[in-house]
Amino acid sequence: MRQQTTLCRYRYDALDRLAARTPVAGTIARSFYQSDTLVSEIQGAEHVRFLHRDRQLLATQSALATLLIGSDQQHSVLHTVSAG
């Protein structure tokens, strides 16, 4: 019989959005939404913000860096530029 190992636990809110994930060897990460768009994620002391326009991800920002994202209409990332 094959042994199963849990690597991460996922929790969802009442609207079926990812609310938290807990890696076995890590800190819980909580996700926050505005309507149905992910706008922020907090894991321990790290806070990442997500900037969207018309449901298209444009950038992420944390205390360590800002990442500008170029993507197509299918939301595939085509290019990134890091600052910080």
pLDDT in tens, 4-41: 777 899 999 999 999 999 998 889 999 999 988 999 99
Closest to 59 measured CA to CA, from 34, 38, 35, 29: 38
pLDDT in tens, 35-82: 889 999 999 999 999 999 988 999 999 999 999 999 998 989 999 999
Confidence of residue 84 (pLDDT cuts 50, 70, 90): low
Cβ–Cβ under 8 Å, residues 7 and 23? yes
